[in-house]
Amino acid sequence: MSRTGVVRWLSIAAATALLGVMPGQLHAQSSPTIALVVGVKGDPFYVTMQKGAQAEADAMGAELIVDGPAQFDPVQQTPIVDALIARKIDALLIAATDKQAMIEPLQRANDAGIPVISVDTFIGDGDYVNGPVTFPLSYIGSDNTQGGMIGCQALLDAVGGSGKFYIQNVKPGISTTDQREQGCRQAIQAAGAGASLVGVDYNGDSAATAAQQTSALLQRTPDLTAIFGANLFSAEGAAQAVKNANLSGSVKIANFDAPEQAIADLKAGTVDLVIAQKPADMGTTGVDYALQAISGDTSQIQKRVPTGYVVITRDNVNSQEAQDAIYKGQ
Ligand code: T6T
């Protein structure tokens, strides 16, 4: 769709909304096409993001294409971006799988006139005003350094501020999980000499690998105090290993992300804290920003939109806020 076509479509959408007709009910005009490229297909975090994006696209009468790699990998994500450029989409929302490797493919999209918006992860250093990469219009996502601190501070509080800590992580180069690790390290360091980090393992976004690595660590360090699982699959694998070793409750776990399994592990006592992000909000705001960019008016677009957390414990797990924050599996 040409920019003039999009502007005309948005004016009609606004006018019909004023008349009480949803823009989605218009059939005569073709609608703008927004693509959402997730970090990996099938992950409940991104499934929930997709639902938020789809609901907003439906409400606004826009077309949403959703795609993503089978693995959390820039080599697999790059051809997806190139195919969308060739398809001449009107805007791109993307959770880049690597903060460096995805700069070039996304620069190609931008050079082709496609507005690029980061959701969940960023490229460069995420500072799209003064950083080394400024072409993406916005970075919509959690404050992940703060998230890592919240997780590891809660673990420290639960064990009296000292002990042996372990981080299960995905792989270096992903903005979100790098920052969570950094936040966790900062909390442990600030706790003083009694608290030490005994290891960090990278599982490549596989819960099975995370479980194997955690089992090996538990063998080597039988007096381990607590584990920070830096994303959904890292935490799931860590919890599985702790259950297998019959150590539920004695080794504390902070679980980043909130799929149903994490809530079950929280209720059963294996996990002590679940940090829920707000992926649906990332999707909704992403679509709103994409439509503004397509219309040519970027004046209301903020370069950074932190989306916040819901921290779930056994005390509040049944509250409406906590229940609403649980990710959707499909
Ligand atoms: O933690 C989320 C996301 O924020 C991260 O960038 C990658 O892993 C998840 O999708 C959870 O699996």
Is there a single domain that holds both residue 229 and residue 177?
Answer: yes
Q: Is residue 43 within 6 Å of ligand 1 at its C-beta? A: yes
Residue 210 domain-assigned? yes
Based on the fold, state whether residues 43 and 104 are members of the same structural domain. Answer: yes
In a shared domain, residues 133 and 51: yes
Convert the pLDDT of each residue in 253-306 to its tens digit: 999 999 999 999 999 999 999 999 999 999 999 999 999 999 999 999 999 999
* Residue 22, pLDDT above cutoff 70: no
> Could you please report the per-residue DSSP string of 99-113?
TTTTHHHHHHHHHTT
pTM, full prediction: 0.93
CB of residue 228 inside a 6 A radius of ligand 1: no
* Contact between residue 173 and residue 206 where contact means Cβ atoms under 8 Å apart: no
Q: Are residues 28 and 103 in the same domain?
A: yes
Decide which of 26 and 314 is more confident.
Answer: 314
Q: Is the CB of 178 under 6 A from ligand 1?
A: no
pLDDT over 70 for what percent of the chain? 91
Taking CA atoms only, the protein residue closest to ligand 1 atom 2 is: 231
Please determine, for residue 113, whether its predicted confidence score (pLDDT) is greater than 60.
yes
Instruction: Report whether pLDDT(140) > 80.
Output: yes
Ligand 1 within 6 A of 292 CB? no
- Using CA positions, which residue lies closest to atom 9 of ligand 1? 231
pLDDT of 14 higher than 70: no
CB atoms within 10 A of CB 142: 23
Q: 179 CB less than 6 Å from ligand 1? A: no
E strand spans, the chain: 33-37, 63-67, 91-94, 116-119, 139-141, 163-169, 195-202, 226-229, 252-256, 273-276, 304-306, 310-312
* 56 in any annotated domain: yes
Which helix (H) or strand (E) segment holds residue 46: the answer is helix 44-60
Q: Are residues 186 and 104 in the same domain?
A: no
Nearest protein CA to atom 7 of ligand 1, as residue: 231
pLDDT for the residue numbered 15? 46
Q: Is 270 in the pocket of ligand 1 (CB under 6 A)?
A: no
Q: What is the torsional sign of CA 148, 154, 156, 159?
A: negative
| Nearest partner of 93 among 70, 67, 74, judged by Cα | 67
Residue 325 lies in a domain: no
Q: Residue 29, exposed/middle/buried by CB under 10 A (0-12, 13-18, 19+)?
A: middle
Within-domain flag for 24: yes
Both 253 and 194 in a single domain?
A: yes
| Residue 231 CA to ligand 1 centre (angstroms) | 5
In a domain, 321, yes or no: no
- 188 plus 39 within the same structural domain: no
The residue whose C-alpha atom lies closest to atom 6 belonging to ligand 1 is: 176
For residue 1, name the pLDDT band (cuts at 50, 70, 90).
low
Atom number, ligand 1, closest to the C-alpha of residue 142: 4
Mean pLDDT of 119-124: 99
50 ligand 1 Cβ < 6 A: no
Calculate how far, in angstroms, residue 276's C-alpha sits from the geometric centre of ligand 1.
11
Does residue 233 line the site of ligand 1, with CB under 6 A?
yes
Listed in sequence order, the residues at least 6 apart from 213 whose beta carbon sits closer than 8 Å to its beta carbon are 168, 201, 203, 237, 241
**CA-CA distance, 247 to 218, in Å (whole number)?**
10
pLDDT attached to residue 330: 82
170 and 231, same domain (yes or no)? yes
**Minimal CA–CA distance to 296: which of 79, 26, 40, 5?**
5
Contact 238, 208 (CB under 8 A): no
257 CB within 6 A, ligand 1? yes
pLDDT(162) > 80: yes
> Residue 50, Cβ neighbours under 10 Å: how many?
20
What is the best residue among 37, 38, 45, 181 to mutate for testing ligand 1's pocket, by most ligand atoms within 8 Å of CB?
45
Domain count, the chain: 2
Inform me whether the pLDDT recorded for 189 exceeds 50.
Answer: yes
Task: Give the position of tokens 């693995």.
Answer: 71
Share of the chain above pLDDT 90, in %: 90
HSE, CB side, 13 Å, CA atoms: give it for residue 198.
Answer: 20
In a domain, 1, yes or no: no
Q: Does residue 84 lie within any of the structural domains?
A: yes
Mean pLDDT of 311-329: 97
> Residue 67: which CATH number?
3.40.50.2300
Instruction: Work out the end-to-end distance of the chain between its first and last CA atoms, rounded to an integer number of angstroms.
Output: 31
Is residue 6 one of the residues assigned to a domain? no
Ligand 1 geometric centre to CA of 28 (Å): 39
Residues 17 and 74 in one domain: yes
Looking at the predicted structure, is the pLDDT value of residue 79 above 90?
Answer: yes
Ligand 1 lined by 231 (C-beta under 6 Å): yes
- Give φ, ψ of 134 to 5 degrees: -125, 0
Q: How far apart are CA 54 and CA 60, in angstroms?
A: 10
Residue nearest to atom 8 of ligand 1 (CA): 231
CA 268 vs CA 111, 264, 315: distances in Å: 51, 6, 13
What is the distance between the alpha carbons of residues 180 and 182, in angstroms, rounded to a whole number? Answer: 5
Q: How confident is the model at residue 16 (pLDDT cuts 50, 70, 90)?
A: very low
Whether residue 133 sits in one domain with residue 38: yes
Whether residue 127 sits in one domain with residue 27: yes
Structural domain boundaries, residue 288:
12-142+278-308
121 and 216 belong to one structural domain: no
Amino acid sitting at position 187: A
